[in-house]
Amino acid sequence: MKNIILFGAGASKGLSNVLPNSPPLGSELFEILINKFPKTWGALNSSLSSMFKNNFEEGMEEVWNKYSEIVPNLMQDMACFFAEFRLSDHNNLYSQLMNSLIDSNKINEYVFSTVNYDSLIEHSLLIAQRKMCYFPKYSEAKDTSILWKLHGSCNFIVKGIQAPKGAVKYLSGATFHGNGIKLINNEDVPKYCRENALYPCMSLYAPNKPNQMARAMIEFIQKSWQEFIKNAEKIILIGIAPHIPDSHIWDVLAKTKGHIYYIGNKKKFEEWIESSDIKKYTFINNRFQEGFSELNKIL
């Protein structure tokens, strides 16, 4: 394996044939959450709501720093929301990408990674009948696709901790390591959240994406990704805008010697390129759908 693809929210947003609908971009998320979860997200005070509407990450940072006791309910509902998304069939860009790599016998040359909480990439691998794994180092996989979820996932839960509702007091600095991460089916996420005080292992959608659940394992995933990036030949970024506060991603990408191929916001990408030492890069297109044929030539 020598190449890697990193997917962001814009990649999932650009898919067709997603049920119940396409996942939102970060800028669209808060309005959806307050309507879907009026007792939690919809019950935030006016000051917090205003912060979230202006900048979701700043709003979550304020909650993390000053209202840590409401973090679990908010994150549980967010996990339930992202667990709903699924592919209706193989007629979508993720599946087309996987099939293209399989048909060209290049699938073993690629590692997949994402900052998304949803499970659409793994669903596309399942549809393609491709084995996958979340956690091993890239050198340990054979005929198996690795998917590194850099900010956790709606179907990751802390292994080895029993914490019924009301049993845990949350502080912003508290962490729950357990014995790593356990996988559950997306269909079981609502039940888990109803019965447990902990929320699924998802980084907070705040600056630098702090981790409260299974932090060591999430950091292991991030470090595995960072080590791979150092020597990767092709680095394909799809639907993820450069975001400097996420230094665990963008500082590492800025130092790579590989060739970066980009689908997404052209202006933000060019601004980031100008501020970095990147020498080898190619802008493909603003949109996944429109850039797919050109991407296929690059794979």
Q: pLDDT over 70 for what percent of the chain? A: 95
Contact 183, 153 (CB under 8 A): no
Q: Is the predicted pLDDT of residue 247 greater than 90, yes or no?
A: yes
Q: Is the predicted pLDDT of residue 218 greater than 70, yes or no?
A: yes
Please report the pLDDT score of residue 167 as a whole number.
62
177 band by pLDDT with thresholds 50, 70 and 90: confident
Domain with CATH 3.40.50.1220 in the chain: 3-17+89-153+217-298
Please report the pLDDT score of residue 176 as a whole number.
85
For 118, which DSSP code?
Answer: S
Please report the pLDDT score of residue 250 as a whole number.
96
CA angle (203 as vertex; 249, 236 as ends), nearest 5: 30
Domain 3-17+89-153+217-298 class, CATH top level: alpha beta
Q: Is the predicted pLDDT of residue 141 greater than 70, yes or no?
A: no
16 band by pLDDT with thresholds 50, 70 and 90: confident
Of 6, 43, 19, 295, residue with least CA distance to 150: 6
138 band by pLDDT with thresholds 50, 70 and 90: low
Q: Is the predicted pLDDT of residue 287 greater than 70, yes or no?
A: yes
Please report the pLDDT score of residue 178 as a whole number.
86
Mean pLDDT value across residues 31-53: 97
Packing angle of the helix pair 71-83, 56-66 (nearest 10 deg): 140
Which residues are within 8 A (CB) of 152 and not within 5 positions of it... i.e. 6 or more apart?
117, 200, 201, 202, 203, 211, 213, 214, 218
Dihedral sign (CA 136, 139, 144, 146): positive
Mean pLDDT value across residues 241-267: 95
Mean pLDDT value across residues 3-11: 97
Contact 71, 79 (CB under 8 A): no
Of 136, 132, 135, 134, residue with least CA distance to 108: 132
Contact 213, 168 (CB under 8 A): no
For 152, which DSSP code?
Answer: B
Mean pLDDT value across residues 132-145: 75
C-alpha neighbours within 13 Å on the C-beta side of residue 68: 14
Going by DSSP bridges, is the β-strand pair 281-285/86-87 parallel, antiparallel, or unpaired?
unpaired
Q: Is the predicted pLDDT of residue 139 greater than 70, yes or no?
A: no
